[in-house]
Structure 1
Amino acid sequence: MLCHTSAASEQALSKSVKACGSEALALLGQMKQRDSLATANDNKLRAALETILTTAEKLRPRGLELQQGELGDLVEQEMAATSAAVESAAARIEEMLNKSRAVDTGVKMEVNERILASCTELMQAIKELILSSKDLQRDIVESGRGAASMKEFYAKNSRWTEGLISASKAVGWGATVMVDAADMVVQGKGKFEELMVCSHEIAASTAQLVAASKVKADKDSANLHRLQQASRGVTQATATVVASTKSGKSQIEDTETMDFSSMTLTQIKRQEMDAQVTVLELETRLQKERERLGELRKKHYELAGVAEGWGEEEEGTG
């Protein structure tokens, strides 16, 4: 229904623009001829322009100009969606663990169990963080809304509200991506490094949620302290995922013993040279990627600060 309405509005806008163009050409022709109908055509042109403005207004992106009720509803919806994403991720991890126990043995099963157990602990820590964030948000709204309704408070503090929505989405996305990476690793199709990167990413996403949640909080709030403690729990759980992943990668690589007993001297020399070339290529690439990562992080923090405005006071608030 929304798509149909948007398409109809776009068609109306196109029709209005064409009509405006026709009126403008007519007015230009009349002005050249100094005809007495110039004034009438001028009025028609004004009317056509007003029609364009009215139609375009309907198509304008809503962004931070969401209606009061919608802003309040969106916060609840996004937090609920994030909780659902984390619950789904935890359920997937349990399924992956059961499957690994059924088909894997030895070192592979040991590695998979350790990695998936650390992922489960991380999901539990994120759940606690989300609950703490909800409680703190409730405190903030209750203490700051005065005579206004909750929905009016969200609308008045729209930048803060949008920050919460964005941060919540980032956490849900991070949990899903991390579990996807873990799934590929336990199947032997993914890279351990990708899982470690995803773990760091989810830590950054939860830090974003903490920053968005506490920006308007009372520093002595019990729920703020609880949120900060939950945040430390996520950080520790993330470190455990990274550590278990590194350890697992080492174990798997150690079991893949290289056997050179059947190789000739020429073959060994050839592989030695190839290995030296690969090492040089990887070292060069690593340096470039580190520089690129530094620039990306710098730009990310710059854009995030501008977009979310967490450190800025809302208009009309102290």
Structure 2
Amino acid sequence: SGSPLRSFSSQELRPKGLDVEQEELGDLVDKEMAATSAAVETAVARIEDMLSKSRAGDTGVKLEVNERILGSCTDLMQAIQVLVLASKDLQREIVESGRGAASPKEFYARNSRWTEGLISASKAVGWGATVMVDAADLVVQGKGKFEELMVCSHEIAASTAQLVAASKVKADKDSANLAKLRQASRGVNQATAGVVASTKSGKSQIEEKDSMDFSSMTLTQIKRQEMDSQVRVLELENQLQKERQKLGELRKKHYKLAGVAEGWDEDGKSLAPLSQEPATAQPPPAKLTAMAQPKP
């Protein structure tokens, strides 16, 4: 066991589109979207298995917390499934309306940066679903951190926002499929907020059950614990300040690396023409990844 979170660089999320012939990009889009759907379906099955095991072996507060957390995770996976289907429908509409006499593969090749953005976003969504279920598995076993599950939930919201941004770049603003995609994105955000809320509530229930019983303590013991608690609060406040500074620097570096990897500078300007798309194409959705975290 161990933390499911690990460093996942922009290079790992970056599609292999630049390493293959452009006519293969269309095949890669279909392959990655199918892989994302499969990852989400696997996640749903794993959650159902975790729930069955918890009902067989847990009771009381532990069972109540696990049922609530796993139920919210299932709701999120279902919302992601709806979003992936909506994204596929919009992509199909974009290709059919914009390719003219060209084949779908030629359209994807001619618009390679957009295509690569779709591939990268789809990979990020599938990865996020898998990692979140890993985190949930550890939490319900009592071996993981509730905070990791909340971070994974935020990452899923950011990844799905990236997929929406990538999907709608070339869409008609009045498209019914675009409206469905936006609605599906709102559904993901609501479901993500549900995971965060259930996780916070569960953490509070589990921790307070054992940590707030002072009935057997003497006055001297209580005074000692009070002083220890004050020291711990000061330590945690200092650690929190330092960690927030570190997070800010990591995000700056993330945006810079993601932009350069996609051929954009920090101002969103193209560094070099990667395709036959006009130079006014929108900056890659990877720049938006961490900007769309839902409010808890």
What is the TM-score normalised by the length of structure 1? 0.75
Q: What is the distance in 1 between the residues matched to 2:54 and 2:277? A: 56
1:182 to 118, 128, 136: 136
The equivalent residue for 1:237 is 191
Q: What is the distance in 2 between the residues matched to 1:105 and 1:309? A: 54
1:315 paired to 2:276: yes
The equivalent residue for 1:147 is 101
Q: How does 1:81-120 map to 2 (within 5 A)?
A: 81-120=35-74
> Which one-letter code corresponds to 1:315 in the other structure?
Q
1:292 to 231, 236, 246: 246
The equivalent residue for 2:285 is none
Q: How does 1:135-214 map to 2 (within 5 A)?
A: 135-214=89-168
2:173 to 206, 219, 223: 219
Post-superposition shift, 1:259? 4.0
- Choose 1 or 2 for highest CA Rg: 1
Q: How does 1:35-54 map to 2 (within 5 A)?
A: none
SS of 1:256's equivalent in the other structure is helix
Paired residues, what number? 257
> Which one-letter code corresponds to 1:216 in the other structure?
K
Post-superposition shift, 1:138? 0.7
Cα 1:316–1:243 change in 2 (3 A) is closer
Q: What is the distance in 2 between the residues matched to 1:137 and 1:228? A: 14
Cα deviation 1:203-261 (Å, max 9, x = unaligned):
00111111111111111111111000000000000000101111111111222144445
The equivalent residue for 2:209 is 255
Q: What is the distance in 2 between the residues matched to 1:139 and 1:122? A: 26
The equivalent residue for 2:28 is 74
Q: What is the distance in 2 between the residues matched to 1:67 and 1:117? A: 43
Q: What is the distance in 2 between the residues matched to 1:103 and 1:91? A: 19
Q: What is the distance in 2 between the residues matched to 1:240 and 1:118? A: 6
CA contact (8 A) 2:17 2:25 kept: no
CA contact (8 A) 2:66 2:140 kept: yes
- RCO (CA 8 Å, sep 6+): is it higher in 1 or 2? 2
Q: What is the distance in 2 between the residues matched to 1:259 and 1:94? A: 34
Q: RMSD in angstroms over aligned alpha carbons?
A: 2.1
CA contact (8 A) 2:22 2:112 kept: no
Where structure 2 has 5 or more consecutive residues not aligned to the other structure, the ranges are: 1-15, 281-296
Cα deviation 1:10-61 (Å, max 9, x = unaligned):
xxxxxxxxxxxxxxxxxxxxxxxxxxxxxxxxxxxxxxxxxxxxxxxxxxxx
1:280 to 227, 234, 243: 234
> Which one-letter code corresponds to 1:212 in the other structure?
A
Q: What is the distance in 1 between the residues matched to 2:141 and 2:183? A: 34
Post-superposition shift, 1:309? 6.4
> Which one-letter code corresponds to 2:251 in the other structure?
R
CA contact (8 A) 1:72 1:151 kept: yes
Aligned identity (percent) is: 82
CA contact (8 A) 2:40 2:80 kept: yes
Cα deviation 1:131-152 (Å, max 9, x = unaligned):
0001111111111111111111
Q: What is the distance in 1 between the residues matched to 2:100 and 2:58? A: 60
CA contact (8 A) 2:43 2:77 kept: yes
Q: What is the distance in 2 between the residues matched to 1:111 and 1:217? A: 42
> Which one-letter code corresponds to 1:128 in the other structure?
V
Q: What is the distance in 1 between the residues matched to 2:211 and 2:111? A: 60
